[in-house]
Structure 1
Amino acid sequence: MTEQWRDEYDVVVVGGGAAGLSGALMLARARRSVVVIDAGAPRNAPADGVHGLLARDGMPPAELLARGRAEVRGYGGQVMSGTVEDVRRDGDRFTVILAGGRAVRARRLLVATGLVDELPELPGLRERWGRDVVHCPYCHGWEVRDRAVGVLGSGPMSVHQALLFRQWSADVTYFAHLVPPTEEQAEQLAARGIPVVSGEVAAVEVGGDRLAGVRLADGTLVAREVVAVATRMVARLGFLDGLGLRPVPHPAGVGEHLPADPSGRTDVPGVWVAGNAADLVAQVGSAAAAGAAAAAQINADLVTEETAQAVAAHRLAALPA
């Protein structure tokens, strides 16, 4: 049966990844009217599998999301395709406006739009992204274990990234590129047997269906089977500008996120955030947990509001005629 849009929901969830679907599942089980609006561009789409997720390790990302959507719908929640372009305050409600002009109202909003990985502008990186160009050792380390890994110096966490990947492979090379190590970092890399290649990187070379190595600006090719790169991570939050919510620089200098309290509550009453939009380094499991936790707080907030309304009505009814 085809799902039909309602005019209003208790909660609109923007983003249908692990955080958004987990939050919607919790809300639907709490008998809330909830819709997930999903733009269909998951961050982990290029990956072969989701890793580190208990009982679902290695499951293809598309399959995990399909199961999640089915579970949300099984409790009466809705999952709809669409891109949210704007959100406006409408009295004690929010008006959520989608591309194409459709608008729905919501009592509360859960933002779970994830983030965009901004890769350095180097030929070859984007083509192999999610395969043998990787970023997270906990997501990909086991899959690239014992292979020749090159770590590109592209951000403030690049040296740390190299030291982490050393846990999975004894053959790690650090390419200084834009981030040469400090004296202390150089000592750490040397102590762990990680050579440092100075000079600018010109490209990541691809040979056939695999990585060939890292090409330096002077023409030298350093053979590598895997390249790790620290991306700049930016939360997808432009549609919240009208509410005055904008991403801010992350304290670690790795991108932009939307700050929130531990429950996911933002500075705008009625708006919560969960997953990578708030926590740039959250993996699938922690993003899902954050979505569920935020959803529980949203339901509690609605119960508080409804109880106050019920008490007011009860007192009014008890007044003498």
Structure 2
Amino acid sequence: MNKAFASQADLEEKKVSFTRLSENAYAYTAEGDPNTGIIIGDDSVLVLDTQATPVMAQDVIRRIREVTDKPIDYVLLTHYHAVRVLGASAYGARHIIASQDTRDLIVERGEADKASEIGRFPRLFRNVQSVPPGLTWPTMTFTGKMTLWLGRLEVQLLQLGRGHTKGDTVAWLPQQRILFCGDLVEFDATPYAGDAYFRDWPQTLDNIAALKPAALVPGRGAALTTPEQVAQGLAGTRNFIADLHASVQAGVKAGKDLHTVYKDTHAALKPKYGHWVIFDHCLPFDVTRCYDEVTQYPDPRIWTADRDRQMWQALEG
């Protein structure tokens, strides 16, 4: 292989930031590594996306304990990817919440995804032996909308449409106009779209924009703390998805095979997005999924560790 597989060569530790958005909302970010959100209510805490292992989750818990001693009663899985969910056991939450679509994806492809992601990005699965056997299962699911009341604090859990996956969930604090959106939005980080719905994603971003967030925590990248920054994050994600989709569509229309479409799309997007975190990791998966959607697979195919390697060798070998 000409390039190191996925992110296996990414070994540099990232600097963690713990950003206060309001008296109730914090963002745990790390220079483009997966983010975690924290919502502190009157009587309990909700954590959104857990980090990849229980040992890594301990650093989130340590920072939570610097600002509150309230129990962490709720964990929200914004989607099913292993890097977001396998640290859940560390929090001792009473409830693990996910959309029903996310639970369905865990049933269908959770084991395959777990093996796939650990192979792609070993640094993000430090102390992977601390993950309990089996998968992370929701104890509570919903469809469309669910409202939690953390005392007087209203937390709306919303499915605003498909994008990054079919199960994407956001958490919205309507009283403060703060949004936690998982990997539906990234900031200065490449969207991973290997399980995406390219045709749906732009409308889902429009639905996010319609909430008019004053602040937004993306799946990767710094917390966006002003409406202007929120607009930049939405625009950057939308432009990447649109540019990639347009390139793949043009290649398919011209009768080009996947390998050629990938090379053309990489050349087209590299000048504009190549400086974004994990660009070279994501793009082979993103183009493969988009090519699938444009040609014959309306729903994402399951990634396995073997399929990852075969795809990478075909496109990058």
TM-score scaled by length of structure 1: 0.23
Q: Which has the higher contact order (CA 8 A, sep 6+)?
A: 1
Greater strand percent: which structure?
Answer: 1
> Highest CA radius of gyration, 1 or 2?
1
Q: TM-score, normalised by structure 2?
A: 0.24
